Amino acid sequence: MWRPSPAATLPGMSDTQNPALDLSNALASAVDKAGASVVQVSARHGIGSSGVVWSPDGVLVAADHNVERDEGITVGLPDGSTVPATLVGRDPGTDLAVLRVEATGLATPDWSDLAGLRVGNLVLGLLRPGQSIRATLGIVSALGDEAWRTHSGGRIDRYVQTDLDILKGFSGGLLVDAAGHALGLNNAGLWRKHAIAIPHATLARVVGSLLEHGRIRRGYLGIGLAPVRLPGPIAEATGQAVGLLVMGVQPGSTAEQGGLLLGDILVSLDGEGVADLGQLQAVLGEDRIGTEVTAKIVRGGEVRELRLTVGAK
């Protein structure tokens, strides 16, 4: 039985009328275009991973869970050279790390704002676990409609979920559309067994903070807390069974200035329930620093509200 080669035309078609060949060439061109911005990162024993050029002067972004050491990091550039890299900072909350190499003129991705992206669109996952670029093909399987909080308290502005094969070196690579426009940084560590991409808006916020401060600043109230079960009537009134008991208030802190007292039970901040410390950390993101928030508390069996200014830690 006759079987067409990948470059063959369908019976009755000329080369210029073959949509399959056109798509194949378009995808290969997308890999060539965007692959020039994907680097190889050696920051853990025996296993290479991927990273993406953030700026032409040598700033790179990678997946934090692949950067297991702070020193002795090397980066393989698309031109085949290998250079040492320094760790600028990391954010476990969004699983991102920023590296810097002594290089100039590096190719940066052509970033997309995701405005026209739809579930079902073809996408490519580009990775460079070794010297050569690799690619995997799939579709967009889900799109987040709003910001998403990770289990570590980081904020992903809008995630893109795909059905791409999670190959070795996948995390830290680049997700691109069929035209080679960058959609996000691939990650297989934030959501177990799912491939997602961290969009440019999140990357810009985290990379900017790490370059400026070397770390991600978190909101701070200056209180010691412990989970406690709420009495039935209070649980019914607040809509949650557990709150955070104030075990200590730091002198001079924003919590003390706002009127929080030892023995108060913190129930929510700005309408978001805080039944455990992870939820509280998620609410106290860097974007809340310096802002005033409404704290709902239980004091003496009554539900009250206080206004607190979020400090920085």
| CB-based contact 208:276 (threshold 8 Å) | no
> Is residue 214's pLDDT more than 70?
yes
Q: What is the pLDDT, as a whole number, of residue 280?
A: 86
> Is residue 2's pLDDT more than 50?
no
Instruction: Using alpha carbons, select from 161, 156, 163, 115 the residue that is nearest to residue 138.
Output: 163
> Is residue 17's pLDDT more than 80?
no
Q: Which of 61-70, 186-195, 235-244 has the highest mean pLDDT?
A: 61-70
* Section 112-118 average pLDDT: 90
* Section 208-236 average pLDDT: 90
| CB-based contact 103:6 (threshold 8 Å) | no
Beta bridge partners of 85: 73, 101
> Is residue 252's pLDDT more than 80?
yes
Determine the 3-state secondary structure of 21 from DSSP: helix
* Section 179-196 average pLDDT: 92
> Is residue 220's pLDDT more than 50?
yes
Q: What is the pLDDT, as a whole number, of residue 3?
A: 46
C-alpha distances in Å from residue 247, one per residue of 100, 259, 265, 266, 286: 42, 14, 9, 11, 24
Worst-scoring range by mean pLDDT, 8-12, 97-101, 110-114? 8-12
Q: What is the pLDDT, as a whole number, of residue 1?
A: 40
> Is residue 91's pLDDT more than 90?
yes
pTM: 0.78
Q: CA angle at residue 176 from 171 to 180, to 5 degrees?
A: 140
Q: Which residues, in sequence order, are CB contacts of 183 under 8 Å at separation 6+?
A: 112, 114, 117, 123, 160, 175, 176, 177, 197, 199
Instruction: Using alpha carbons, select from 68, 182, 79 the residue that is nearest to residue 124.
Output: 182
Give CA–CA dist 182/114, Å, rounded.
Answer: 9
Q: What single-letter amino acid sits at 30?
A: A
Instruction: 81-89: list long-range contacts, CB under 8 Å, 24+ apart.
Output: 85/41, 85/43, 85/60, 88/59, 88/210, 88/211, 88/214, 89/210, 89/211, 89/213, 89/214, 89/215, 89/216
Q: Which residues, in sequence order, are CB contacts of 191 under 8 Å at separation 6+?
A: 159, 161
* Section 73-102 average pLDDT: 96
Q: What single-letter amino acid sits at 92?
A: P
Q: What is the pLDDT, as a whole number, of residue 16?
A: 62
> Is residue 10's pLDDT more than 70?
no
> Is residue 12's pLDDT more than 60?
no
Q: What is the pLDDT, as a whole number, of residue 132?
A: 94
Domains belonging to the chain, first-starting first, are 13-216 (2.40.10.120), 219-312 (2.30.42.10)
Q: What is the pLDDT, as a whole number, of residue 192?
A: 76
- Mean pLDDT rounded to a whole number for the chain: 90
What is the tens place of the pLDDT at every residue in 133-184?
Answer: 999 999 999 998 888 878 777 889 888 999 999 999 999 999 999 999 999 9
